[in-house]
Every structure is written in C-alpha cells, then in structure tokens.
Amino acid sequence: MTRWRNENPLLLYNIRQLLTLRGDSGPRRGGAMRELGIIEDATVLCSGGKITSIGKTRDAVKDPRVKRLNKKLVEIDCSGKIVLPGFVDSHTHPAFAAPRLFDFEKRISGAIYEEIAQAGGGIRSSVDAVRKIRRADLASKILTVFDAMAVHGTTAVEAKSGYGLSTEDEITSLAAIRDAANRWPGTAVPTFMGAHVVPREYDDRPEQYVRLIEQEMVPQVARRRLARFVDVFVEASAFNSKSAERIFTAAHEQKLGIRAHACQLTPASIAPLMRFRPASLDHLDHIDDREIPLLVASETVATLLPGANYFLGLTRYPPARKLIEAGVAVALASDYNPGTSPTLSMQMVLSLACTQMRMSPAEAITAATINGACALRLGNTKGSIEAGKDADLAIFDVSDYREVCYWFGANLCSAVILNGHLRTRDRLARPAYDI
C-alpha cells in the first residue's frame, strides 16, 4: 500500500452505498443494530480531519463548500464501491514479539489451553520474548500491525500491554504502543493489562503480584499517562473477581477506565465487575443467562471475539443472538494476539459473527463500528459518518454492504481515511494521487 500524509480536503463521490450509521452517539441495541442509515449515490466531504458534510452526489456540485475548496480538493471516485465508518477494533494485544507456533502445534495435537500453559507455552512464553526486546523494536512491530490493520479497513484500535508483567516491562510496552500510535495517522487507545496472567516469579505468591499491580503499576501508568483503561483477565487460571475488584478500585482512584476479559473459558458471575461500570466486558462465552439483564440495564458494551473461538477450534461461540435480543449493546473485535487469535482482519471477524453466531450483516457492521467506538467511550467522535465526526472511513470494493461479511479470506478494502489522511492501494484518487 502506498503511504502518504494528505493534508488536502477530500471529496468522495459516486458512492454506491454510504453506510452512515447515523443516530445518537450511544451504543445501538436490538433492532437499532440493523439500521445502517444507507444513502445511495452518495458523497462525503472531509476537511481538517473531520467530516464536513454528507449527501447525494448530485447535490455536491452545488455545495458552496465544495466550490470554495475547488482547487485544493482531492476527488475520489467511488463508483461501484461502498463506504462505511472505519472499523473500530476495540480489543487487541499487539505488544508481543513473536508468534506462538509451539502452542499452535500443541493444540492441533489435542492439548487444551491450560495444558499448553503448563508445558511452557501460553501467555508466559510471550512474556519471556517481550522482556528481551528493545522498546524501539517493539514499537516498530506494533506500527507494522497498525498499518496492516488500516489496510484491512480499521481506523481506530485499542491496544493492550500485558506481556511484560513487571512494572518496568509493562511501562516499556505501553511506551512502545504510544511511540507507534504517534507515528500512525489512525487512533490508538492504550490499555494497561498487567493483570493478564500471574508471572512465573510470583507463582507461589500471586497475592503479592496483585498488590504490585494495585500499588505500583496502576499509579505509575496513570502518572505517566500511558493508558486510558485498565483490563483484567478474570478467569480461573488468571485472576479471580476479588483480585479484579482490588485492581479496579486502584484504577478508579487514578481516574482510569475499566474493561475486563470475562467468562471466556469458564463461567463466573459478572455482578462484582459491573459495580465498576466497565466500558466493556469482553468474550462472555459462558455468561450466565440470569445476569444478562445486568448488561441490558447498563452502558457496558459486550465485546464478542469469535476469532479466538475459531482459532482455538471451539464449536461453541459467544451467545450473540441471546445478547442482542435481550437488548445488550454488542461489539465485535479481533482480539489480535499471538496465542488465541492471530488475525487483524475485521472482515474475517464479521464473517465469523454471521456464520457462527448468526448475527445479520447489518448487526455485525454496527458491532464493528459505532458499538466498537462506544466500547472505547469514543461514540461522540468515531464509529459513524456524520458531519463533525472524525474523518475515519473505509472504502470497500463491493457494491452491496452484505458482501463485506460474505466474502472471506480476502481483503476487499481498497482505501481508508484515518483522521482525514488518505491511504489507498489502487488508483482511486485523481489526478494528484495517481500511482
């Protein structure tokens, strides 16, 4: 993909279907998840990194703003294509050094997650590599991932630490995320996840590791403004809800947002976590039906991560239909990580959501855009195409939005606009941007 910074205003026109997702800035629930606000033969004008106006192509020529910008304007012909809000990938773990091929082969031969961890694989094997890598090398790996995500239509991403697991290595990981974010035109939201797993050196005293997180790591991360959220892997093999409550109390004191991995591998009550009003609870494969009303009555988004189920070879997927029909705000994310979901393709995630969780294409797109933005508390600026919002757009080389979910295993995104910066891999733009 050719890369450049584009400071000029942009006019996208002849858009076959523009998926605006317009509406209120809160997360969409129930039937509202199927309302994409489609405009046919549409146009979008962006300038200064923001969306200036949307409408019909035939009206754009009369628009005084378009006339005024005439000379500087970069025109992008989107004939036969669709445009949607850039994907908001609200759950990723990009701060790692190497793929986990040992785990991959072990699992193929029949080992389960806990057995792989005991055999020296799992999250801890990624920790060894991250503790050795230089910050600059980690940052350049993360930037490569952000760039690849953009190529696949993602314009905003949440990025967790969690493979350092010491104060120094967690801070280095978050600093590397910030370095990469500063060099990327998209938006990256950093999350501190020291509570990913108990590191080996605390095996016989896990309680002390929790104390280190609450008393040292969270305050230091907050003081250095390295994270917006704190995440805890609440799971029998990681941290119980009592430990999570302590860590979240420390996060609240530092005015950091809360999110958690919950009910991924085994059932557990989400009630103690909901007390902290988390922005999102993620996975929820084993959520207790009786606790679904807790989510319905809250602003907490349920972020489902079917890439992990696919890669772990599970037949059971998160209960998307049950959650949507109850009125829970559902988001979809990649869970990009080296152990359980090595994909950064939101298009693949949408395919899995439709085929394995029976979400409709419209619901899946809503979950991957505006509801993903709400899971990061960015619903006011991201996730829909409306005047005044950030110019984050993805152009797909298909003529019907349902094709984004229908084709799988190939990337159909032909260009993205990240905070007003255009990146394209074909001859969409003319004339200054012919490549």
- Beta-carbon contacts of 113 under 8 Å, excluding residues fewer than 6 positions away, are 122, 237, 265, 312, 340
DSSP 8-state symbol, 218: H
Query: Which C-beta is closer to Zn ion: that of 335 or that of 390?
Result: 335
DSSP assigned state of 96: -
Beta bridge partners of 302: 281, 330
Nearer to Zn ion, 75 or 335 (CB): 335
User: Strands 187-195, 10-19: parallel, antiparallel or unpaired by DSSP?
Assistant: unpaired
Contacts with Zn ion by CB under 5 A: the residue count is 1
Least distance from C-beta 193 to Zn ion, angstroms?
Answer: 8
335 or 363, CB closer to Zn ion? Answer: 335
> Minimum CB separation from Zn ion for residue 31, in Å?
29
Preceding amide of 185 cis, omega within 30: no
**CB 421 → Zn ion: shortest distance, Å?**
28
The single-letter code of the amino acid at 10 is L
The answer to whether 107 touches 313, Cβ cutoff 8 Å, is yes
Report the distance separating Cα 49 and Cα 33, nearest Å. 27
The footprint of Zn ion on residues 329-358 (CB under 5 A) is 335
Residue 160 has, within 13 A of its CA and on its CB side, a CA count of 27
Least distance between Zn ion and beta carbon 284 (Å): 12
Element holding 261 (H helix, E strand): strand 257-262
Runs of H (alpha helix) within 254-402: 271-274, 292-296, 306-311, 320-326, 346-357, 361-368, 370-375
Q: Per DSSP, what are the bridge partners of residue 190?
A: 159
Q: Residue 93: left (phi > 0), alpha (psi -120 to 50), or beta?
A: beta
Min dist. Cβ of residue 92 to Zn ion (A): 8
Please tell me the distance from the alpha carbon of residue 150 to that of residue 394, in angstroms, as a whole number.
Answer: 9
**Residue of minimal Cβ distance to Zn ion:** 335
Tokens matching residue 415: 């260009």
> Given the complex with Zn ion, which of 89 and 335 has the nearer CB atom?
335
Indicate the residue among 104 and 407 with the shorter CB distance to Zn ion. 104
In whole angstroms, how close is the CB of 152 to Zn ion at the nearest point?
Answer: 18
Stretch that binds Zn ion, among 119-127, 178-186, 209-217, 327-335 (CB under 5 A): 327-335
Interface mask (CB under 5 A) for Zn ion, residues 217-256, using x and -?
Answer: ----------------------------------------
Give the x-and-dash track for 25-64 against Zn ion (CB under 5 A): ----------------------------------------
CB 400 within 8 A of CB 84: no
Tokens of 224: 């250095």
Smallest separation, CB 145 to Zn ion (Å)? 15
Which residue in 179, 276, 275, 257 sits closest to 218, CA to CA?
A: 257
Spatial separation of the C-alpha atoms in residues 207 and 215, rounded to whole Å:
12
Q: Which is nearer to Zn ion, 47 or 125 (CB)?
A: 125
Is the Cβ–Cβ distance between 140 and 147 less than 8 Å? no
The minimum distance between CB 67 and Zn ion, in angstroms, equals 48
Distance CA 335, CA 332 (A): 9
> Given the complex with Zn ion, which of 214 and 335 has the nearer CB atom?
335
The C-alpha R_g of the chain, in whole angstroms, comes to 21
| Residue-wise burial string across 289-309, b where 16 or more C-beta atoms lie within 10 A, e elsewhere | eebbebbeeeebbbbbbbbbb
Residues binding Zn ion (CB under 5 A): 335
